[in-house]
Every structure is written in structure tokens, then in C-alpha cells.
Amino acid sequence: MICNNYNPPFLLQNGHIQTIIPTFFRKVENVVYKRERINTLDDDFLDLDWSSAAEPDSGYNSRNTGLVIISHGLEGNSKRAYVKGMVRACNMAGWDCLAWNYRSCSGEPNKQLRSYHSGATDDLALVIDHAKKTGKYCEIFLVGFSLGGNLTLVYLGRDKVDSIVKKAVVFSVPCDLKGSSMALAKPVNRFYMKRFLKMLHEKIKAKMALMPGKIDDKDFEKIKNFKGFDDRYTAPINGFKDAFDYWEKCSSKQFIKNISVPTLIVNARNDPCISDSCYPVKEAMENSRVFLEIPDSGGHVGFIEFNKDQLFWSEKRAVTFFHEYPLTA
């Protein structure tokens, strides 16, 4: 399914503008988190930020038995505007939210050498299981942005999915990691690449201070793209042969055929951070549970919209899909 029902504001149609403006200028108010730290099986930790529904008796979910778990993008966290915007929208619709921070993304370095990557679904599974064990919820919906979208699709299509997970919506998904990495390596995307590498370098330096001798940043300035970073860090630390091996095994596109819960994928046509191979038209057409929408505009995790509720189009789209599409049997 190819959908073009998102109409960007005047003069904001450009994909780079849609990507950059929300990142640097959007402020989302009225989101209150309560942080919880949980332990992982390998003696590490994850920081979870919970937000209770603003309107528990709304028409969307009058019993408030639903929880939305939100997975952020590369070098993001629960405080990013796109995460808080989705939390606010889902709270307004009557659902509690859990915005979780990947290892090393909550403001404190994680304890193990490994951090997070596009296929590290064990942590997502742990978060889902922890939320289920609270006994508060009958259904869980998943939202993923960018890397978090890929992570969500890999979990849904490769792993054993907990039956409490009923629906999912993902945005701006680099579902072909090689293609997306090559796209970001282009000169036109130098701004994004340099920004990502700068943030990743800070994580490496923090890890060096925590565990000297196990990791270093010698000649880090020679790394110019994700291939260089993944070859040196992501692949060897996480048991992959090299960047290509990591990309091949953790790209979600190959797992879409196996997804069994209703899942919406939204990738804008003018997204500067993904390649043509990241639009899984064939895969979506072959799976009746997967819905692909490709608006002409939206950028990368953009989808700007101006309205009295201060909700972006992506946030309204997720709420609509969760509300209207029938649950799995």
C-alpha cells in the first residue's frame, strides 16, 4: 500500500527541512516521566521512562489496559521531541507509555562492553516482559523510530513475540542497513553523518573511562561513515564478522514476511537517511498483516504538522492505527 495522505506545511516540503527543524526546534511540553531501572541478564541495566495516560477515560481506551512501548532512534533517548510527542499523543488517547532508553542512552554509560545495535532485540524483549509482569496491561502496542523501527520489525519477524503484543507502528525505518548506511555516506548527507559520529565518539570515550584497555578511540577521526564505525566497533563487540555481516543479519527487511501482528510501516519518499531499498513494497504486499505507507514528504522522523493539539501527523497516524485496526485473534 502506497499512501500520500500527508500534506506538509507550506515551504516545509523538503526532506532535509522536515528532518532538521523538529530535531533542533521542537519542544514538547506536558510529558511527565517516572524513571525505573531494570537489570539485564548480563549484569547491565536499562532505564525506562513511564508516562501515565492524561485521559484514562477517553473514548480510545476507557479501561486504560493498553501500554505503548516506544523505541527511539540512533543516539536518541526518551527525552527527544519525537519520542515525547508520541508519548503525549498516546497519553491523550488514553494509553500509558513506556519510553525506554537503550544501553548507554539514558545519560549514564552502561556497564558492559556491548551497547546497543539495530538487531539487539533481547533488550526490547526484556522490556516487554517486564511491562507484562506488572499485571496492569492486557495489550501492548509498539512504536519504533528509525533504528528503533528496524529493531521493532526484527523482533516481530525474527523472534518469539509475546502474545501481549498486539500491534506496531514504525517510522523512517532503515530496513536495509547497508543501503541506508551507503545513503548516509553520500556528501549531501555529510551533516547527519558527522553529527552521528560525534555522538558515537562521545560514547566510546565514556566507555574508555569506564573500562580502560578494552576499547579505545585511537585514530577515530579517520572514521568517516558507518562502515568504518561498524567494522571497528559494532561488529566485533557484538559477534559479527564485519559491518557487512552485521548489516546483513540485522536488516529487518528480510523478516517482514514473518510478522504476524498488524504492523504499519511509514517511510517518507523524501527521507534523506534511507535508500531506495528501504521501501519494502514487495514484502508488505506479500504479508496481509503489514501495511506500508510512503508519503511523498515527511523527511526522517519529521512529518511536521501545525494544529491546536500540537500533534505531528505521525503521532496522529499511530493513534489512529492503534485505535481502528482490529486486534489479532
Show pLDDT as tens, one digit a residue, over the chain (329 residues): 555 589 899 999 999 999 999 999 999 998 999 999 999 999 999 999 999 995 444 444 445 689 999 999 999 999 999 999 999 999 999 999 999 999 999 999 999 999 999 999 999 999 999 999 999 999 999 999 999 999 999 999 999 999 999 999 999 999 999 999 999 999 999 999 999 999 999 999 999 999 999 999 999 999 999 999 999 999 999 999 999 999 999 999 999 999 999 999 999 999 999 999 999 999 999 999 999 999 999 999 999 999 999 999 999 999 999 988 665 43
Do the domain assignments include residue 248?
A: no
Q: What is the pLDDT of residues 86-141, one digit of tens each?
A: 999 999 999 999 999 999 999 999 999 999 999 999 999 999 999 999 999 999 99
Domain coverage including residue 167: 15-180+255-324
Q: What is the 3-state secondary structure (H, E, C) of the chain?
A: CCCCCCCCCCCCCCHHHHHHHHHHHCCCCCCCCEEEEEECCCCCEEEEEEECCCCCCCCCCCCCCEEEEEECCCCCCCCCHHHHHHHHHHHHCCCEEEEEECCCCCCCCCCCCCCCCCCCHHHHHHHHHHHHHCCCCCEEEEEEECHHHHHHHHHHHHCCCCCCEEEEEEECCCCCHHHHHHHHCCHHHHHHHHHHHHHHHHHHHHHHHHCECCECCCCHHHCCCHHHHHHHHHHHHCCCCCHHHHHHHHCHHHHHHHCCCCEEEECCCCCCCCCHHHCCHHHHHCCCCEEEECCCCCCCCCCCCCCCCCCCHHHHHHHHHHHHCCCCC
Give the bridge partners for 170, in sequence order. Answer: 144, 265
Is 1 inside a domain boundary?
no
Residue 65 is predicted with a pLDDT of 80
Does residue 191 lie in a domain region?
no
pLDDT given at position 328: 45
Q: Which residue has the cell 537503550?
A: 102
Per-residue model confidence (pLDDT) at position 1: 55
pLDDT score at 213: 94
Q: Does residue 33 sit within a domain?
A: yes
CB contact at 8 A, 297 and 268:
yes
Q: What is the pLDDT of residue 57?
A: 44
Is 69 inside any structural domain? yes
Structural domain includes residue 71: yes
* d(C-alpha 25, C-alpha 265), whole Å: 26
60-84: per-residue pLDDT in tens? 444 568 999 999 999 999 999 999 9
Q: The CATH number of the domain where 151 resides is what? A: 3.40.50.1820
What local confidence, expressed as pLDDT, does residue 61 receive? 44
Q: Is residue 77 part of a domain?
A: yes
Asked if the structure places residue 217 within a domain, the reply is no
Q: Are 182 and 175 in contact (CB under 8 A)?
A: no
Domain count within the chain: 1
CB-based burial, 116-138: b 16+ in 10 Å, e otherwise? bbbbbbebbbbbbebbbeeeebe
